[in-house]
Structure 1
Amino acid sequence: MSTNERTIDATPEEVWAVLADGWLYPLWVVGATRMREVEPSWPEADSRIFHSVGAWPLVIDDSTSVVESVPAQHLTLRARAWPAGEATVVIDLEPADGRTLARIQEDVASGPGRLVPPPVRHLQLGWRNTETLRRLALVVEGRR
């Protein structure tokens, strides 16, 4: 799995508030372009959000589901973007002196993306998630 970390100038509860608002997903997830629906139980286990990925007019409608959820601590997602495939995304939040150490781990779970050699795949995911964490920090810190 590719792993990225960033310290966010907010509490884990403040970071979680952004993660728990499925309508904000395209603001911080690189590649997500719009939301179509958020299930009321999001981000509880087995709940889903329905989004589009890509750049207009080449967008793909798909979904992301919650595998595990511990409020203000841990979120495991299964992100779909077929025909590219599916990814497992693990987000952990740790308190750090009034701030939050946010960690994202991601790897392709199924589909054609599994054919990309792991070192190349992890390099690409690392770049993507550096920006994802930067965007998450901007949204969270901007709400303070």
Structure 2
Amino acid sequence: MSTNTRLVETTPERVWEVLSDGWLYPLWVVGASRMRDVDSHWPQVGAKLHHSVGVWPALIDDSTSVIEADPGRRIKLHARGWPAGAAEVVITLSPQGAGTLVTIEEEPVSGPATLIPQPVRGMSLRWRNSESLRRLAFIAERREPDAARRPGDEGDARRHEVGSSRRSAMNARRRSDSELR
């Protein structure tokens, strides 16, 4: 089994909001390239994400289903991704001060991935899940509460201003970097 942990600087509720939005999975799960459909009762037990893995035109359609769910705390998934096989993935959220300790445990349960020696398999899963946790943290830490995400409200204008300021700063930095060359 491969285990990764990351301290995310937001509440477990905010992290759970990201996990509960199945359409966001390709943004943070390394290897998921697109979402084809999300069952309406996601993330309840039995619900499925219908995703694709790979790069076009070699996309493989598959699914991930919820085996267990404790909202705001833990979700256990059966993730299919042929040709590699299938894995059980447990994501646990633990309050840690003002943040959340997020743990991903992944164990291949079928397919060719089970034939790879554990040390090699563990190394690649640790790299992949470390990046997935990094992406999940980026989304959860920057996600506005639902009430603040209504189009046309002050929060929307403020986010636009902040985005414009960041873009301006990045462009200025690029110009100064190119002047140094």
TM-score class, shorter-chain normalisation, is over 0.9
1:28 paired residue number: 28
Counterpart code for 2:41: S
Q: Note the C-alpha offset of 1:83.
A: 2.1
Match of 2:10 in 1: 10
- 1:1-144 equivalences under 5 Å are 1-144=1-144
SS in 2 for 1:80: strand
* 3-state SS in 1 of match to 2:130: helix
Question: CA deviation digits over 1:104-125, x for unaligned, max 9?
Answer: 0001110111110111101100
Unaligned runs of 5+ residues in structure 2 are 145-181
Bigger share in strand: 1
Letter in 2 for 1:141: E
Shift of 1:42: 0.4
Structure 1 residue ranges, 4+ long, deviating more than 4 angstroms after superposition: none
Counterpart residue identity of residue 69, structure 1: A
Displacement of 1:57: 1.6
SS at match of 1:127: helix
In structure 1, the gaps of 5 or more residues are none
**How high is the sequence identity, in percent, across the aligned residues?**
57
Distance in 2, Cα, partners of 1:123 & 1:39: 32
What SS does the corresponding residue of 1:72 show, helix, strand or coil?
A: coil
Task: Look up the equivalent residue of 2:135 and give its one-letter code.
Answer: R
Question: How far 1:135 moved relative to its partner?
Answer: 0.3
- The residue type equivalent to 2:107 in the other structure is D
How many residues align structurally? 144
Partner of 2:179: none
Q: Deviations over 1:69-88 (max 9, x none)?
A: 00110000010011221011
1:40 is paired with a residue of what secondary structure? coil
Q: Higher RCO, 1 or 2 (CA under 8 Å, sep at least 6)?
A: 1
Tell me how far 1:58 sits from its aligned partner: 1.3
Aligned to 2:154: none
Give distance in 2, aligned partners of 1:56 and 1:130.
25
In the alignment, the residues of structure 1 paired with residue 61 and residue 124 of structure 2 have an alpha-carbon distance, to the nearest angstrom, of 22
Root-mean-square deviation over aligned CA pairs:
0.7
* Counterparts of 1:73 and 1:7, CA distance in 2: 14
Partner Cα separation in structure 2 for residue 31 and residue 92 of structure 1 = 20
Local SS of the residue matching 1:15: helix
Greater Rg, structure 1 or structure 2?
2
Partners of 1:24 and 1:84 in 2: how far apart? Answer: 22
Greater fraction of residues in helix: 2
